[in-house]
Amino acid sequence: MSVKENLKGRSLLTLADFSKQEITYVLELADQIKQKRKNGEVYEPLKGKTLGMIFEKSSTRTRVSFETGIYQLGGSGLFLSANDIQLGRGEPISDTAKVLSGYLDGIMIRTFSQQDVEELADNASIPVINGLTDDYHPCQVLADLQTIKEEKGKLEGLKLAYIGDGNNMAHSLMIGAARWELMFQLRPLKDTSQILRLPQLQKTLQKEPK
C-alpha cells in the first residue's frame, strides 16, 4: 500500500501516530499545493466536502487558517462554538461523533482534553483533526516543519531550540524532532516535570511506528 493510500481517512490526533515517511509526504504535498496557489492554478480536491470546526477554545489564527484552507481547496467550513455544541456535557461525546459523521466529511476540534479528542475520533466514521489540546498541537508543528524546510532547504541534521512553556507545543515539537532525528533543545520558562510522563510522548521518543 502506498503512503497516500495509507493516509486516506486517517485522523490527526498527534504526530506520534505518523511515521517520518508519512509526515514527509504531507509536507511535500503542502509544498505542491502552496506552489499551485502561487501560480494561480485552481486546485479543488475537496470540492463538495464540508469540514466541521469545533472551537471549545477560541482562536483567530486557527479559525481563519482552517476556514480559508478548506475554501481554497473547494470545500466549506462549518464553525461550531462552545455555545453551539456541548461536547461531553449536553450529550455523550460518542453520540456527538456519530451525529456529526452523518452530516460532515471531516472534523477539526480545538479543545482542552486530549482524551475527548481521542474519544471523538474513536466514535466518528470520518477523519478528526486535532486543532489543539492541552497536550498536543500537531498542526502547528507541521506548519513549523514546513517553514523550516523552506528556509533551510532540509530538515535532516538541523538543531531546533524551543524557549517557552513545557506545554502542547513543547510536546509536539519533541515528537517532530524525534521523527526527523533533529537535535532538540528545550529551555522552559516553567516547570516541565510532567512532560515525559505523557505515554504517547515516551513511546514516540523510543520507537517510530511502522
pLDDT at 38: 96
Phi, psi for residue 106 in degrees, rounded to 5:
-170, 160
pLDDT at 167: 85
149-175 per-position pLDDT tens digit? 999 999 989 999 998 877 899 899 999
Question: What is the CATH code for 3-132?
Answer: 3.40.50.1370
Q: Distance between CA 38 and CA 61 in Å, rounded?
A: 21
Average pLDDT over residues 116-136: 97
Supply 73's cell numbers.
481547496
Q: Distance between CA 174 and CA 166 in Å, rounded?
A: 11
Model pTM?
A: 0.91
CA distances from 82 to 50, 102, 112, 163, 168 (A): 19, 20, 12, 31, 21
DSSP string of the chain, one letter each residue:
--HHHHHTT--BS-GGGS-HHHHHHHHHHHHHHHHHHHTT----TTTT-EEEEEESS--HHHHHHHHHHHHHTT-EEEEEETTT--BTTTB-HHHHHHHHHHH-SEEEEE-S-HHHHHHHHHH-SS-EEEEE-SS--HHHHHHHHHHHHHHHS--TT-EEEEEE-SSHHHHHHHHHHHHHT-EEEEEESS--TTGGG-HHHHHHHH----
Which of these ranges, 14-18, 66-70, 106-110, has the smallest mean pLDDT? 14-18
pLDDT bucket at 206, cuts 50 / 70 / 90: low
CA distances from 32 to 28, 29, 41, 63, 150 (A): 6, 5, 11, 23, 12
Q: For residue 125, is pLDDT > 90?
A: yes
92-118 per-position pLDDT tens digit? 999 999 999 999 999 999 999 999 999
pLDDT at 164: 83
Question: Could you state, in order of their start, the residue ranges of all structural domains in the chain?
Answer: 3-132, 155-206
pLDDT at 64: 97
Task: Name the residue with cell 513549523.
Answer: 144
pLDDT at 106: 98
